[in-house]
Amino acid sequence: MANEKKATVRDIAAKAGVSVATVSYVLNDKKDTKISDATRKKVLQVANLLNYSIPEKYKNVDAKQGVYTIGVMYELKADTPSRNTEIMSLINLLAERFIRIGFSFQLIPIESEAELSKPVQGLDGIIAIDLESASFKQMSNQYFIPILCLDMIINDFLFYQIHTDMESLVSKAKDILGDDFYIVTDKYNNEGYRDYIASAAPDNQILFFSEIAQNAFSKVKNKKILAFGLQSGLTLSQYAGCKDLVIVTNDASPSIYSALTKTIHHDIEKKANLAMNIMMNALEKKFDVKHEYKI
């Protein structure tokens, strides 16, 4: 937890990587300076996160006083059924938790770039789930409110980030499968997160479900597989002819599996709880931004 010390212009300058003069120009909304839009946005975002007063026109004037509105942005793809199911399960958990504490909760599905062209009014915080890097950058540049990234790797200290602890899951899989196996997963939208999963896989042995399905699962026949997601795991268990199969599922007691099916529980309820707590603290300016949390 951070202390209650009030942030200064120097604090903002240090966090944003600019001079004190630049911060002063931006916060005083001076237009006759050669400050890029990117730098101006960075300063305003840092100032907002550190609870420093920013120009009134950049504040969320449309939000109802005393009621926070959280927007959740996500993208579903036709060829990622397991991933879609997990995203919707996570959204349901988040909605249940935020609504229970009196927050408004707004779904913002991303179906085209045009939907990112202008900000959604009235939001106090945003939870972005597995967005492509370009889409996230386009979206985040338009807001000066806390943004939390789920299942994304964003190399920017401004944004809270929560994602699955792949190293831990792979370690558990090694106890069952040994050191040589493939990870099979739906393709995540976020490129950085895809790279992270590959780096956790033994010898970068990662396969995407939609691609191996096109070849009748020939790539996984007689191989040891760690499969992510209910649909992917069940399909592989029935049709792929894997030598050995372990399924990562967020269902603590998946009754539809056979007694012989090996599973590893992935607790997305913890992810939803952590997301809610971090967002609440961010809105109340309770602590500084930590770059990364793993579940």
Q: Which residue has the tokens 């840092």?
A: 46
Give the DSSP letter of residue 182.
E
Q: Residue 163: pLDDT band by 50, 70, 90 thresholds?
A: very high
Q: Residue 158: pLDDT band by 50, 70, 90 thresholds?
A: confident
Q: Is the pLDDT of residue 224 over 80?
A: yes
Helix (H) or strand (E) holding 2: none
pLDDT in tens, 80-133: 999 999 999 999 999 999 998 889 999 999 987 777 778 898 999 999 999 999
Separation in Å, CA 95 to CA 70, 104, 175, 272 = 9, 9, 35, 9
pLDDT in tens, 244-281: 999 998 876 655 556 567 899 899 999 999 999 889 88
pLDDT in tens, 20-48: 888 888 887 776 677 887 788 778 878 87
Per-residue confidence (pLDDT) for residue 62, from 0 to 100: 47
Mean pLDDT for 177-187 is 96
Q: What is the token pair recorded at 14? A: 């240090």
Separation in Å, CA 54 to CA 36, 48, 140, 199, 276 = 17, 7, 17, 40, 25
231 by DSSP, 3-state: which? helix
Q: Give the integer Cα–Cα distance in Å for 286 and 273.
A: 17
Compute the C-alpha angle 126/60/33, nearest 5°: 105
Q: Give the integer Cα–Cα distance in Å for 277 and 280.
A: 5
Per-residue confidence (pLDDT) for residue 195, from 0 to 100: 95
